[in-house]
């Protein structure tokens, strides 16, 4: 079924399970500047329900044929079939591989031709299928090569160009199982890398932080075609074999040799032997004065919310304005419109920002309308140039190759993912689901922001690995208020790897009658939501400043305690110990003065410092 609009052509293909039962649809949206795909179940807005690798091939064969051409994608297959050729195709994209049951009938055909798309992903895709067919008993497998094919071209373009396909079949090169290449070990600043091409895939192990003499250990990370399979893991290069056994078992479980054609045990053993030999070769000593010292400083994309080349997570309850906040930050970056309403926000120096919004929850029309209304709040006409990528089912890790291609094609510099739960397509309490998501996201775009949800206790929902993998984390809450058209937000920076913790922030969203949405950054101490959670030291200073404005330059400890309790909305006895302790510390540091005569407290003549982030001894548990 094909429908056409002014901007694109939509084609819908049926998807069938291995029994031939119709289970869903594969929608291909062919835009002027590319294409995108959406999987659905039989009913509108439903999910497919089964992995794409467990689907039958498109135009699947009910019985073996004298020959068959396997192509990538329905469009290429339809072109071949309409030209009189027997053809079937994969539907899951170049990153997927059909299961054995889907290929079993193909393996019994007298001759199998593989027609890869003319790019690396397409060649790798058909190489994996060829290895599977060989394992299933196919003996006559050939790869079609169109010498004059443009980049990424497939069988559809060949038919459109009137290419002699019969001649291409005659000239097709016989496939033979590849012999694994030699492992290549290279020295890096942090350790070593070991690379192997096997089964049409590039396997790379990075060994860093190598320490020890008799028992040598390190951190190791494995990548498949550039996508990390796990976070850095402690690994013993010699000595006890228990950690190595566990590591290999995990790799074999998640990437079995039967499907991925990688002998993990041999790869790791050969790599370790080569690295140990090099590591034990004594390097000549060097003078410390000759060592180049590289000082690293955190770089901001949008200070204080988005770090450059890092993954930031924002989480909060539903309907707290998370998506609006992210769109606002994106549009600030895209249009570079920081002004007095935006308080302490600062932009990076690079004006060439290209942003991709990867969404599993909201339709493009809603995101476009929100962005248009925020631009109205900036008093800017027109629409945003943010790239919207709709995702329907599956996981971000599974779609990493395709997303990476789009990021590279459009020179994307920042990726927003909404939301974490949908993008993992699994249990957020399981490290095996969370870690591959973050690894894949970093491979797609180093600078990224992830939107996530809170649990019932207000903390981020899911595994502690979310906290571990994010380099910066922000919690978002909205104030309970009944002011029409106004949404007040509080933001707390709960993790910062490369910077100090950022002080709490208060933002106000105003929804105007003409649809415009305006954001204001206002002092946290003025927020009914944020002020009670500020550090006691900050509240003590605020109480003294307020009294000073009212003409009281000296204030008793009792009055200070009452003022702090009033802001925190608790009884004075709850904050008394923390206030006493903080006053003592602030006097010792010179931030406060104790007047000897009446023991009152006052501020020194110097202006007070800005609000500082909370410390372990400054918060009162409430």
pLDDT at 9: 63
Helices and strands per DSSP (H, E), number in the chain: 17, 29
User: Within this chain, do residues 476 and 538 fall inside the same structural domain, yes or no?
Assistant: no
pLDDT at 186: 82
Locate 199 and state its tokens: 């089964």
Task: Give strand pairing partners of 220.
Answer: 207, 233
pLDDT at 619: 41
For 77-88, write each residue's pLDDT tens digit: 999 999 999 999
Output the 3-class SS for 502-532: CCCEEEEEEECCCCCEEEEEECHHHCCCCHH
Give the domain range for residue 31: 1-48
Quick one: 265 exposed, middle or buried, by C-beta within 10 A (0-12, 13-18, 19+)? middle
For 107-119, write each residue's pLDDT tens digit: 999 999 999 998 8
User: Within this chain, do residues 274 and 341 fall inside the same structural domain, yes or no?
Assistant: no
User: Within this chain, do residues 170 and 193 fall inside the same structural domain, yes or no?
Assistant: no
Mean pLDDT to the nearest integer, 315-321: 89
pLDDT at residue 133 tops 80? yes
User: Within this chain, do residues 27 and 55 fall inside the same structural domain, yes or no?
Assistant: no
Among 137-151, 250-264, 336-350, 421-435, which is the least confidently predicted range? Answer: 336-350
From 193, 200, 195, select the one nearest 183 (Cα to Cα).
195
Among 21-30, 326-335, 471-480, which is the least confidently predicted range? Answer: 21-30
In angstroms, the Cα distances linking 430 to 25, 60, 255 are 30, 36, 17
pLDDT at 414: 95
Among 19-33, 69-83, 432-446, 509-523, which is the least confidently predicted range? Answer: 19-33
> Are 275 and 237 a contacting pair, CB within 8 Å?
yes
**pLDDT grade for 239, boundaries at 50, 70 and 90:** low
Locate 347 and state its tokens: 């932009």
What is the distance between the alpha carbons of residues 17 and 611, in angstroms, rounded to a whole number?
60
Among 46-60, 148-162, 305-319, 565-579, which is the least confidently predicted range? Answer: 46-60
> Are 494 and 505 a contacting pair, CB within 8 Å?
no
Task: State the Rg of the chain over Cα.
Answer: 30
Cα of first residue to Cα of last residue in the chain, in angstroms, is 60
3-state secondary structure at position 490: strand
Q: Phi/psi at 333 (nearest 5 deg)?
A: -65, -45
Highest-confidence range of 8-12, 565-569, 592-596, 601-605, by mean pLDDT?
Answer: 565-569
- Choosing from 494, 525, 556, the residue where a domain stops is 525
What is the distance between the alpha carbons of residues 442 and 415, in angstroms, rounded to a whole number?
10
Conformation bin of residue 123: beta by default, left when phi > 0, alpha when psi is -120 to 50? alpha
Q: Where do the DSSP E strands lie in 328-483? A: 346-347, 355-359, 387-390, 414-418, 448-453, 472-478
3-state secondary structure at position 153: coil
Query: In whole angstroms, what separates CA 123 from the centre of its chain?
Result: 26
pLDDT at residue 593 tops 80? yes
Output the 3-class SS for 164-205: CHHHHHHCCEECCCCCCCCCEEEEECCEEEEEEEECCEEEEE
pLDDT at 269: 82
Count of domains observed in the chain: 5
pLDDT at 621: 35
Domain membership flag for residue 222: yes
Helices (H), 214-263: 242-254, 257-260
User: Within this chain, do residues 249 and 321 fall inside the same structural domain, yes or no?
Assistant: no
Instruction: List all residues 6 or more positions away from 306 whose beta carbon is below 8 Å from its beta carbon.
Output: 300, 312, 329, 333, 414, 447, 449
Domain membership flag for residue 428: yes
Locate 442 and state its tokens: 């970093």
User: Within this chain, do residues 168 and 200 fall inside the same structural domain, yes or no?
Assistant: no
What is the distance between the alpha carbons of residues 505 and 522, in angstroms, rounded to a whole number?
8
pLDDT at 177: 63
Pairwise pLDDT comparison (199 vs 44), residue with the higher score? 44
- Choosing from 115, 146, 174, the residue where a domain stops is 174
Q: Give pTM, 2 decimals.
A: 0.57
pLDDT at 100: 86
pLDDT at 244: 65
Domain membership flag for residue 308: yes
- Cα torsion 125, 131, 134, 139: sign: positive
3-state secondary structure at position 546: helix
Q: Average pLDDT over the chain, rounded to whole?
A: 83
- Choosing from 156, 174, 192, the residue where a domain stops is 174
What is the distance between the alpha carbons of residues 411 and 404, in angstroms, rounded to a whole number?
10
From 478, 501, 488, select the one nearest 611 (Cα to Cα).
501
From 364, 286, 172, 407, select the one nearest 372 (Cα to Cα).
364
What is the distance between the alpha carbons of residues 457 and 461, in angstroms, rounded to a whole number?
9
> Are 2 and 11 a contacting pair, CB within 8 Å?
yes
What is the distance between the alpha carbons of residues 302 and 449, in angstroms, rounded to a whole number?
12
Percentage of the chain beyond pLDDT 90 is 41
Residue located via tokens 């001649």 = 167
User: Within this chain, do residues 309 and 358 fall inside the same structural domain, yes or no?
Assistant: yes
Instruction: List all residues 6 or more positions away from 614 whose beta carbon is below 8 Å from its beta carbon.
Output: 501, 533, 534, 535
User: Within this chain, do residues 444 and 502 fall inside the same structural domain, yes or no?
Assistant: yes
pLDDT at residue 622 tops 50? no
pLDDT at residue 452 tops 70? yes
> Are 37 and 28 a contacting pair, CB within 8 Å?
yes
Domain membership flag for residue 608: no
Mean pLDDT to the nearest integer, 199-224: 74
For 43-78, write each residue's pLDDT tens digit: 776 778 788 888 999 999 999 999 999 999 999 999
Domain membership flag for residue 463: yes
Domain CATH code at residue 449:
3.40.50.300
For 368-399, write each residue's pLDDT tens digit: 999 999 999 988 888 899 999 999 778 898 88
Pairwise pLDDT comparison (293 vs 419), residue with the higher score? 419
> Are 119 and 125 a contacting pair, CB within 8 Å?
no
Among 98-107, 290-299, 437-446, 608-617, which is the least confidently predicted range? Answer: 608-617
What is the distance between the alpha carbons of residues 270 and 282, in angstroms, rounded to a whole number?
21
Conformation bin of residue 310: beta by default, left when phi > 0, alpha when psi is -120 to 50? beta
Domain membership flag for residue 559: yes
Locate 59 and state its tokens: 């135009």
User: Within this chain, do residues 84 and 230 fall inside the same structural domain, yes or no?
Assistant: no
User: Within this chain, do residues 309 and 424 fall inside the same structural domain, yes or no?
Assistant: yes
DSSP output for 124-137 = HHHHHHHHHHHHTT
In angstroms, the Cα distances linking 12 to 1, 25, 91, 114, 488 are 5, 6, 12, 24, 44
Give Dmax (Cα) for the chain: 105
pLDDT at residue 250 tops 80? no
Mean pLDDT to the nearest integer, 135-154: 90
Among 37-51, 498-512, 547-561, which is the least confidently predicted range? Answer: 37-51
Mean pLDDT to the nearest integer, 207-220: 73
**pLDDT grade for 560, boundaries at 50, 70 and 90:** very high
Domain CATH code at residue 149:
3.40.1360.10
Q: Count the Cβ atoms, other than its own, within 10 Å of residue 605.
A: 6
> Are 144 and 80 a contacting pair, CB within 8 Å?
no
User: Within this chain, do residues 434 and 386 fall inside the same structural domain, yes or no?
Assistant: yes
Domain membership flag for residue 358: yes
**pLDDT grade for 5, boundaries at 50, 70 and 90:** very low
Percentage of the chain beyond pLDDT 70 is 86
User: Within this chain, do residues 584 and 473 fall inside the same structural domain, yes or no?
Assistant: no
Locate 154 and state its tokens: 């497939």
Domain membership flag for residue 288: no
């Amino acid at each position: 079924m094909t429908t056409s609009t002014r901007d694109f052509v939509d084609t819908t293909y049926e998807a069938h399970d291995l029994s031939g039962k119709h289970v869903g649809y594969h929608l291909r949206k062919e835009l002027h500047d590319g294409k995108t795909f959406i999987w659905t179940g039989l009913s509108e807005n439903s999910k497919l329900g089964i992995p794409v690798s467990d689907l039958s091939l498109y135009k699947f064969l009910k019985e073996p044929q004298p020959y068959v051409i396997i192509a990538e994608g329905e469009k290429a297959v339809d072109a071949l079939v309409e030209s009189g050729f027997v053809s079937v195709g994969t539907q899951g994209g170049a990153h997927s591989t059909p299961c054995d049951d889907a290929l079993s009938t193909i393996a019994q055909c007298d001759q199998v031709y593989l027609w890869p798309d003319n790019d690396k992903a397409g060649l790798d895709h058909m190489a994996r299928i060829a290895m599977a067919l060989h394992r299933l008993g196919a003996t006559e497998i050939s790869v079609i090569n169109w010498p004059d094919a443009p980049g990424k071209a497939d069988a559809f373009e060949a038919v459109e160009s009137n290419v002699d396909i019969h001649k291409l079949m005659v000239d097709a090169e016989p496939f033979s199982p590849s012999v694994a290449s030699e492992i290549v070990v290279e020295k890096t600043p942090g350790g070593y890398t070991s690379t192997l091409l096997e089964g049409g895939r590039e396997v790379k192990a990075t060994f860093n932080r190598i320490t020890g003499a008799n028992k040598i250990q390190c951190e190791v990370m494995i990548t498949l075609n550039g996508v990390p399979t796990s976070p850095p893991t402690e690994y013993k290069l010699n000595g006890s074999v228990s950690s190595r056994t566990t590591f290999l078992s995990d790799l074999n479980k998640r990437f079995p040799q039967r499907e991925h054609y990688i002998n993990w045990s041999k790869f790791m053993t050969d790599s370790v032997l080569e690295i140990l030999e090099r590591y034990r070769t004594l390097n000549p000593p060097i003078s410390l004065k000759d060592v180049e010292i590289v000082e690293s400083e955190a770089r901001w994309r949008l200070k204080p919310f988005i770090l450059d080349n890092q993954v930031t997570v924002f989480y909060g309850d539903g309907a707290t304005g998370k998506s609006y906040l992210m769109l606002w930050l994106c549009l600030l970056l895209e249009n570079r419109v920081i002004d007095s309403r935006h308080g302490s926000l600062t932009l990076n120096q690079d004006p060439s920002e290209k942003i991709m919004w990867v969404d599993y929850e909201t339709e493009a029309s809603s995101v476009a309308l929100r962005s248009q209304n925020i631009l109205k709040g900036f008093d800017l006409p027109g629409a945003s140039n943010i790239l919207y990528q709709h995702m329907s089912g599956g996981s971000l890790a599974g779609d990493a190759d395709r997303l990476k291609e789009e990021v590279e094609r459009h020179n994307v510099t920042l990726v927003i993912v909404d939301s974490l739960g949908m993008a993992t397509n699994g249990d957020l309490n399981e490290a095996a689901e969370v870690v591959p998501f973050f690894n894949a996201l970093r491979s797609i775009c180093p600078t990224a922001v992830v939107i996530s949800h809170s649990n019932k206790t207000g903390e981020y929902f899911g595994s502690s690995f979310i906290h571990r993998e994010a380099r910066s984390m922000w919690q978002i809450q909205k104030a309970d208020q009944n002011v029409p058209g106004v949404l007040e937000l509080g933001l707390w920076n709960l993790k910062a790897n490369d910077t100090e913790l950022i002080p709490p922030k208060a933002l106000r969203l105003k929804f105007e009658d003409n649809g415009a949405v305006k954001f204001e950054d206002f002092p946290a101490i003025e927020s009914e939501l944020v002020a009670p959670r500020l550090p006691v030291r900050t509240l003590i200073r605020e109480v003294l400043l307020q009294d000073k404005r009212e003409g009281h330059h000296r204030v008793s400890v009792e009055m200070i305690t009452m003022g702090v309790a009033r802001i925190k909305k608790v009884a004075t006895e709850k904050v008394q110990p923390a206030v006493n302790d903080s006053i003592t510390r602030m006097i010792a540091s010179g931030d406060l003065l104790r007047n000897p005569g009446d023991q009152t407290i006052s501020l020194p003549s110097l202006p007070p410092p800005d609000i500082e982030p909370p410390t372990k001894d400054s918060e009162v548990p409430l």
